[in-house]
Amino acid sequence: MKKIMWLFLVGMFFICCNNQSSEKVITDKRVVLRSDTLNIIKLTDTLVIHESACRGCAYEASTYFGLSDSMDIIQLLEVITKDNNSPDMQGGSISKTIVMFPAKTGKTNFKLYKFLTSNGTPQDSALFTRYNVEVIN
């Protein structure tokens, strides 16, 4: 019985003292912006906003986003579209990830417009979300 307990303790020691230095270190500094608060970010951060578009509807392919920042602090980098649904499924939604970056420090209030047609008609300009951002060094 003593030998079994001793082996158990030695085994637990080796398991607990396992060096985890081989794990990947995540260096991606993405910040998901919230529209209901002041977002304080660093100049080196990447900004992300998650949106969606309906799958299989008339404006699925024509949905795009625009950014209006009077201070020119936040710049739109890309919009990543991802469809996680199976190809034979009807309906659902398509994930849109808007990636932005801060160009300089300061405080700004910008609008993210969601256009449902490729022309960007004035009727679509009513679809926007306002974000408050302060970029620090």
Residue 93, burial from CB neighbour count under 10 angstroms (0-12, 13-18, 19+): middle
Please name which of 103, 121, 123, 99 lies closest in space to residue 112, comparing C-alpha atoms: 99
Question: How many domains does one find in the chain?
Answer: 1
79-121: per-residue pLDDT in tens?
999 988 888 888 888 899 999 999 999 999 999 998 887 777 7
- Is 131 within the bounds of a domain? yes
d(CA 88, CA 121): 33
- Is 16 within the bounds of a domain? no
d(CA 37, CA 49): 14
- Is 85 within the bounds of a domain? yes
Decide: pTM greater than 0.75. no
- Is 13 within the bounds of a domain? no
- Is 12 within the bounds of a domain? no
15-31: per-residue pLDDT in tens?
776 655 544 444 567 99
- Is 129 within the bounds of a domain? yes
- Is 45 within the bounds of a domain? yes
CATH number, position 54: 2.60.40.2020
Range of the domain at 56: 24-136
